[in-house]
Structure 1
Amino acid sequence: MGNIGVQVVIAMIVGTIVGAMMGHSASMFAPLGSIFIHLIKMLVIPLVAVAIISGAAGLGSSHSAGKVGLTTLGFFAFTSAVAVALALVMGEVFQPGVGIDLTGVEGMFSNAYAEKGDLPSFWTTLLGMIPTNVFQSLNEANILQILVFCLFFGVSVSKLEKERRDPLINGVNAIVDAMVWMINVVMKIAPLGVFGLMADAVGTFGFSALMVVFKLFVVYIAAILIYGFIFYPIMIKLFSKTSPIKFLSAMKKPQAVALSTASSMATLPVTMETCEEELGVRNSTASFVLPLGATINMSGNAIYYGLVAIFFAQMFNVDLGMSAYIAIIVTSTLGAVGQAGVPGPSFLVVAVLLSAGIPIEGLPLLFALDRIFDMVRTALNITGDAACAVIVDSYIGDNEEETSRA
């Protein structure tokens, strides 16, 4: 597995070149990517289910379980809010939406997405997280419902008496190990799949669509780099015993897979392996934090929402007041938490724009490039998941040391 990261990066570069040279005919390689994604999807849902049960059972029997859960959720909420704030600052400093020449692209404008901007209410969201039929949730790949049931089930397993609990936990851990073996086999064809995905994406969309939103794209990449290579390493340095250099070096492989698949869920097995084997995160912590993070921790999406809001406000000459900025931060943070860890055009940005009174007609300008934006923000999302796992694991270690001294 050691050289898979290098092979994936090479496959991305070759796929990009082939896509640029062949144009639309590069779609002939799309089935290679589809096979890879289908194999990953086949394994991800069962892996998430058993990993969450294993992690919750492992944490449920420790004294720090409640603190771990609160720390994890607090980390995700805090980093998402900071991500939106960074996006707003960079949007105001670099002004990507000022001076855009809209000649020839007005035909892309559309109001068709206006009705898609309603964020569900608190109670609707809460009810939607609770499965009425867990087998249906598994069948429909409803990640939040699977998470809720498996967390509950894992904690309940940890409360059984030792002689009944241990065989169950050992059995679940054996299934996790078997699933990881299957993932490792699938990852052997990752370079082929990545080549197919990149050739198809570049060949279909090309680089011409990028020119209209080029400045937004550049500012967006800069924000992602600042967050991934400065903010998260600082958090690692301050709140864990892991070296930021070691962390960034270890994350190269999962980041390459995240870039190619544009899915936190598809990258989850690689992120788990990297955290456990290269960063020394305990299995119980990784099995709890990482699947949860792949579902609700979306700092890359939060940056995207914030920057797109500023971009369109500047493009349509909308003056934003403090209340609009607060609305963008709150809606972007909630939207990032509610975004499932799978690729696809993100209509949650509609809710962010509507909350601040920003016109949404220009959204189709972004949709052709959504795959490229999605790839980049997914790489940041999984970096945040891993950073949280490292910090929480260090926190658990410190707590256990204090408990043993007491």
Structure 2
Amino acid sequence: MNLLQKWTDTSLILRIIAGLILGVALGITVPSAVGISMLGDLFVGALKAIAPLLVFFLVMHSLANKQDTAQSNMKTVIILYLVSTFLAALTAVAAGFLFPSDIVLVQGAEDAAVPGGIAEVLKSLLMNVVDNPVSSLINANYIGVLAWALILGFAFRKAGDNTVKVLGDVSDACSSAIRWIINFAPLGILGLVFATVSETGIKSLMDYGHLILVLVGCMLFVAFIVNPAIVFVNIRQNPYPLVFKCIKDSGIMAFFTRSSAANIPVNMSLCESLGLDEKQYSVSIPLGATINMAGGAVTITTLTLAAANTLEIQVDFPTALLLSIIASISACGASGVAGGSLLLIPLACSLFGISSDIAMQVVGVGFIIGVIQDSCETAVNSSSDALFTATAEFRKWKKEGRKIKW
């Protein structure tokens, strides 16, 4: 019991690091112990299962509570999401010109279903808004979950106080369940790392070393230069303590789960620890998991430019700028699951007249390097959801003369 108490009293991040180290060690020494990887599947599955319910009831309760008159800052949050995504695409364009990549095209992704154009991406996004609410909860369609939570939340404003209290009790129960699940993060990380080390061959990544360096370099630049600059412009204060906290508490977890949807509960817990308004972050965090895709914009732009360079297609700046816009819009339509941005690469490749056959080979390359690419992409995407949610609210605090602290 004393050992268990010491374990629970230890910082969660230290416990996660311990799980990471143990996962690597077990993946190298006993790679055939497949039962260990189940720990990661169970952890991610639990997060994905509870997250839609948490979002649904939090948003409904926040809107149904007549006493809550906080002014929404969602316009600021959405602008920050879109600006960050576009600047990430521009960063990838600059890197593509400075460090052009050649790739070895591969087969293997020909059967994947990809959208036919921007119109199809946007149509899919809009159809998700009006999806059946039960179906939205089951399939973790957060656009649909948010839409119905907003509608029902406003409708419940006419309900009695007891009804609103029940909604609050359910949302509190979901929050408690999330905290219990997050306490199992070290075991989940152990399983996820074990699966990666034991199943992924390092040799298969060697042919794409330059491409991986460009991708990861762009994402690091976005996370530690572009995003802090955006935060500083808004709050006129050293952004790095907040940036590092978001990366430590959200980005590291997202790196291993490789799912923005699974990381929604983690981000909500982070926002709560920062003292943010639940009415704001209960909407902005799940929305960010859908449309805040800076890492996805980097992936789409970098792999598309690599394909053009491999085929010796000359890319001028106006076309590259158009690619940034297309990549940003496409990334906003990418699903919040592992590999969601890769299936939008053919859409961007069509800008340069690259055939769908070649584009799908580029997608195949993306799947090969996905263990690194998707981990970094999700870490950037998800940590910035919390970062910009906090930035929007701190900007409001600044105008009101309140002290910002984290």
Please tell me the TM-score bracket, short chain as reference: 0.7 to 0.9
Distance (whole Å) between structure 2 residues aligned to residue 61 and residue 45 of structure 1: 23
Secondary structure, aligned partner of 2:117: coil
**Aligned AA for 1:352?**
A
From 336, 343, 348, the counterpart of 2:344 = 348
Q: What is the SS of the residue equivalent to 2:312? A: coil
1:195 Cα shift? Answer: 1.2
Task: Determine the C-alpha separation between the residues in 2 that align with 1:380 and 1:152.
Answer: 31
Query: Could you give the per-residue CA deviations for residues 221-278 of structure 1, whole angstroms, max 9, x where no partner exists?
Result: 111111112222222222127652331342202222111101112111121111221x
1:48 aligns with 2:55: yes
Which digits, 9 at most, give the CA deviation of each residue in 1:133-166, with x for residues without a partner? Answer: 32222223222211211123334445x4xxx475
5+ residue gaps, structure 1, are: none
1:221 aligns with 2:228: no
Task: Give 5+ residue unaligned stretches, structure 2.
Answer: 1-7
5 Å matches for 1:306-345? 306-344=301-339
CA distance, structure 1, for counterparts of residue 375 and residue 140 of structure 2: 21
Q: In 2 relative to 1, CA 110–343 (structure 1 residues): closer, same or farther, beyond 3 Å?
A: closer
2:204 pairs, out of 183, 204, 209, with 209
Normalised TM-score (structure 2): 0.85
| Aligned partner (choices 230, 242, 248) of residue 243 of structure 2 | 248
Counterparts in 2 of 1:75 and 1:22: CA distance versus 1, 3 Å: same
Amino acid at match of 2:107: F
Q: Scaled by the length of structure 1, what TM-score is found?
A: 0.85
Structure 1 vs Structure 2 CA RMSD: 2.8
Is 1:186 aligned to 2:181, yes or no?
Answer: yes
In the alignment, what sits opposite 1:177? 172
Number of paired residues?
A: 387
Q: What amino acid maps onto 1:50 in structure 2?
A: F
Per the alignment, residue 119 of structure 1 pairs with 117
The answer to whether the Cα contact below 8 Å between 2:85 and 2:293 also exists between their aligned partners in 1 is yes
Q: Deviations over 1:39-88 (max 9, x none)?
A: 112211101212232455579964743xx232222221111111100011
Q: How far apart in 1 are the matches of 2:212 and 2:167?
A: 44
Letter in 1 for 2:151: F
Q: Who is 2:149 aligned against?
A: 150
Distance 1:58 1:381, change over 3 A: farther
Moved more, 235-244 or 360-369: 235-244
Cα deviation, 1:371-402, whole Å, max 9, x if unaligned, reads 32111111111221112111221244356679
How many angstroms apart in 1 are the aligned matches of 2:136 and 2:85? 27
Are 2:258 and 2:378, in contact at CA under 8 Å, matched by a contact in 1?
yes
Q: Helix, strand or coil for the counterpart of 2:140?
A: coil
How far apart, in 2, do the equivalents of 1:342 and 1:4 lie? 25
The range that moved more, 121-130 or 209-218, is 121-130
Distance 1:290 1:148 in 2: 14
Q: 2:39 aligns with which of 18, 32, 39?
A: 32
**Any residues of structure 2 matched to 1:1-400 within 5 Å, and which?**
3-23=11-31, 25=32, 27-56=34-63, 62=69, 64-65=71-72, 68-97=73-102, 102=104, 108-109=106-107, 112=110, 116-119=114-117, 121=119, 124-125=123-124, 127-131=126-130, 133-158=132-157, 160=158, 164=159, 167-240=162-235, 243-251=238-246, 252-277=248-273, 279-344=274-339, 346-358=342-354, 359-360=358-359, 361-397=361-397
Partner amino acid for 2:150? L
Q: Aligned pair in 2 of structure 1 residues 56, 400: CA closer, same or farther (>3 Å)?
A: farther
